[in-house]
Amino acid sequence: MTFSQKAVVNPGVVIGRTPLYRQLYVQVLFGIAIGAGLGHYLPDLAVAMKPLGDAFIKLVKMLIGPIIFTTVVGGIAKMGDAKTVGRVGVKALIYFEVTTTAALVFGLLAVDFLRPGAGMHVDPATLDPSSVAAYVHGAHGLSAVDFLMNIIPNTAIDAFARGDVLQVLLFAVLMGFALSYIGARGRLITEFLDQASNALFTVVGIIMRVAPIGAFGAMAFTIGKYGIATLQQLFFLVGSIYLTCALYTIIVLGIIMHWCGISLWRFLLYIKEEIFIVVGTASSEVVLPRLMAKLENLGCEKTVVGLVVPTGYSFNLTGSTISLSMAAMFLAQATDIPVSWEQQLAIVGLIMLTSKGAASVPGTAFVVLAATLSVTNVVPVAALSLILGVDRFVSEARGVTNLIGNGVATLVVSKWENALDPQRAGEVLSGRAGTIVADRPETILEEEQLMWTAPGAGVEGA
């Protein structure tokens, strides 16, 4: 038996309708529902399911570094123009800062209007600072100099070993420029990296077959450990963050997508599998390879995708900034601490800076909040203990918003650079296009295309 593809490789041919039960998003939803039920009725057993979710996340994360490296190096080497790469990077950073600022202001206005912490009347003196001590410790060393120094890996191998996206991206950009400079002498390396990229995306396609199991394990653990009662206790805060993220996506990102000439709703349907995987695992990183492939398939140039998406995962976390600004003000409201508009602006400004420095730190949300509260000295850091129990639920909303925001960012920068094929995008979103991603046959967008067949079965439609 050999592994082959049941994909149509001619761009003008459309894949037939797949049975509902074989579609990935349906399987993931089923896994989430079963996991939530198990967590509610058999919490002890559900907590033991945690390794299933952790294993799935680790399986995908082990490929993120190599995929970013092969994609970015190959794209820059073929482009052959350092000025173009630099221009794309500058435009992406400008866009990131604008949308991140908008997200912070959006969250600030929402929390001031909804006031989810009002009426709790928590006495800060009764809070236990030991429960957040680890996050306070992690908040040290988030200065701008430390952040810039951390982008440079100790060795090239260390960047891959640690899985640091920015470090891998830096090495990939330098290698891409080097191959572009030496020209034909580096052609064999470029061709090898292209083939390696094809193989890596095929591995992602295989791993995605177990996404429903990973979503089941992660959701079962969450409900089993924290319980529905924990969510109910602070439901107003959690609901406010979900509502604000949804409104930000519909209003702000909707306007941006309208400018791009692309329907936000159709784009959301296009990445529905990724959205449900993020909901199940509470991690937006696990769908980074799939998002890159889908954006290429949508008509974005490979180099733009390779630069914008990985960078966005550190600089364009709009969902995280919304939840952080709302959480900071919630803690002030819950502890009856008055905060002026000047103090609020100072807090969200610091969140914007510290969120960049903590991009690769475990427990990023609490590390950023701890650093911000320590510097502003308005709300006691110990107040973080109030939201420890519900952060896992909030992470789903911010993860989905981060995912959508980075997809939209890539489309915007691609259009800005005239590197977006609007006709291709329209055909893909309407279901009229084939399934080719860049120069490789699609292997991960529709998992039902992957199957085991006897040798010589070939490819349908070829």
Beta partners for 437? 440
- Average pLDDT rounded to a whole number, residues 344-371: 68
Beta partners for 441? 436
Six-digit token string for 73: 């190096």
Q: pLDDT exceeding 70 applies to what percent of the chain?
A: 79
Least confident span in 135-149, 208-222, 315-329: 135-149
- For the stretch 217-266, pLDDT in tens is 888 887 888 776 656 657 888 899 999 999 999 999 999 999 988 999 99
* pLDDT the model gives residue 18: 65
Spatial separation of the C-alpha atoms in residues 16 and 361, rounded to whole Å: 44
- 140 phi and psi, to 5 degrees? -75, 145
Six-digit token string for 277: 């995987």
Q: Which residue has the higher pLDDT, 140 or 347?
A: 347
* pLDDT the model gives residue 389: 66
* pLDDT the model gives residue 139: 52
26 Cβ neighbours under 8 A, 6+ residues apart: 20
- State the pTM of this model: 0.75
pLDDT band (50, 70, 90) for residue 160: confident
* pLDDT the model gives residue 372: 77
* pLDDT the model gives residue 128: 59
- 440 phi and psi, to 5 degrees? -120, 145
Q: Which residue has the higher pLDDT, 319 or 451?
A: 319
* pLDDT the model gives residue 6: 35
Quickly tell me which residue has 């173009």 as its tokens.
84
* pLDDT the model gives residue 370: 76
Instruction: Report all structural domains of the chain as residue ranges with CATH numbers, in order of start.
Output: 2-450 (1.10.3860.10)
Q: Which of 217, 298, 250, 228 is nearest to 54 (CA)?
A: 217
Six-digit token string for 2: 């050999």
Beta partners for 451? 4
Beta partners for 2? 453
Query: Are the CB atoms for 253 and 408 separated by under 8 Å?
Result: yes
pLDDT at residue 426 is higher than 60: yes
pLDDT band (50, 70, 90) for residue 377: confident
**How far apart, in Å, are the Cα atoms of 264 and each of 83, 283, 284, 410?**
31, 22, 19, 14
pLDDT at residue 189 is higher than 80: yes
Least confident span in 109-113, 295-299, 362-366: 362-366
Least confident span in 136-140, 157-161, 330-334, 379-383: 136-140
Q: Which residue has the higher pLDDT, 206 or 381?
A: 206
* pLDDT the model gives residue 131: 53
What value does the mean pLDDT of the chain take? 78
Q: Which residue has the higher pLDDT, 370 or 267?
A: 267
- Average pLDDT rounded to a whole number, residues 106-132: 78
- For the stretch 12-51, pLDDT in tens is 333 446 677 777 878 888 888 898 889 889 988 998 998 9
* pLDDT the model gives residue 270: 94
